[in-house]
Amino acid sequence: MQRKLSPSDEGTHIKVVAAQVRSLVAAYIDEIGFAADGALFLDRIERLAAMTAFWGARMNLTAEPGDARELAFHIIDSLTPAIFADSEELLRHAFRAGTRILDLGSGAGFPGLVLASALPANFTLIESRRKRASFLAVAVSDMNLKNVVVESRRIEPERGSADRSWGETEVKACDGFDVVTARGYAHPPTFHLTAASALKPGGIAILYANSGQNLALPDADKNGLYEFQPVAYTIPRSGRVVKRILGLWRRR
């Protein structure tokens, strides 16, 4: 049985984990030449790592919340659309100041809090689970993110007939977003319908996925998402390299 840490030992452990995460993320973005807002971005990431390590030990926030390499993986992976923003046409203007980003099923803040820490766009984080939404709200305050709003509510399509046209869902009331992101939110068909309902015409849908995962492309097209662009990348994870993909679409 794992020995429970004393409050002082736990505090020390959390500080160590957060510092390690900061170091791993800093090394990665320095290696690839990503131009984030230097110390401010890393300060926010260190705060997020500390909060995740603390709260993750008390609630089902994320797997292995005390493992610095795992937390660094989630943060680096979350940052990927920002890293590719200058090289991928569909992402070129997605995160500029004034754009509205909707993150579906934000959970522990991956990717919403990470992207908001590095980018000037305005983010709305949707999380239906009350405890996780409370964590997100506290994290937003602690990280001093003025560009983030957290909403604790469910946002998913109604289950209806197979010939339901795109946009006919209960998320219609929150449409008009420039970008919709999702990482671990739902199966791709659900993402396609939800994202298409929330996006304005010409808006961009971004789905994080594992390499080789079925992205349900016919469902995307049926729901008004087109110009599919897969962006493959590799990322370090606990001593190994994993293959990932960003699925990008534009809404008609």
What is the pTM for the complete model shown? Answer: 0.91
Q: Angle, to 10 degrees, between the axis of helix 38-56 and the axis of helix 7-32?
A: 140
Cα torsion through 157, 161, 165, 168, rounded to 10 = -40
| Nearest CA among 73, 99, 74, 96 for reference residue 85 | 96
Q: How many residues does the chain have?
A: 252
Q: At what angle do helices 38-56 and 68-83 cross, to 10 degrees?
A: 140
pLDDT of 245 reads 98
Only one residue has tokens 């995962």, namely 213
The tens place of each residue's pLDDT in the chain, 252 residues long, gives 345 667 778 899 999 999 999 999 999 999 999 987 779 999 999 999 999 999 988 898 988 999 999 999 999 999 999 999 999 999 999 999 999 999 999 999 999 999 999 999 999 999 999 999 999 999 999 999 999 999 999 875 544 433 344 333 344 445 699 999 999 999 999 999 999 999 999 999 999 999 999 999 999 999 999 999 999 999 999 899 999 999 999 999
Give me the amino acid identity at 92: R
Return the DSSP state at 89: G
pLDDT score of 166 = 35
Provide the pairing of β-strand 100-104 with 177-182: parallel
How far CA 181 is from CA of 23, 66, 206, 212, 225, in Å, comes to 26, 26, 5, 19, 14
What pLDDT is recorded for position 173? 43
pLDDT tens per residue across span 6-29: 777 889 999 999 999 999 999 999
Q: Which residue has 């030449």 as its token pair?
A: 33
- Mean of the per-residue pLDDT values of the chain: 90
Confidence (pLDDT) at 30: 94
Asked whether the beta carbons of 252 and 224 are under 8 A apart, the reply is yes
The pLDDT score that the predictor gives to residue 147 is 98
Encoded tokens for 240: 């190994």
Domains of the chain with CATH codes: 73-251 (3.40.50.150)
Per-residue pLDDT, 178: 98
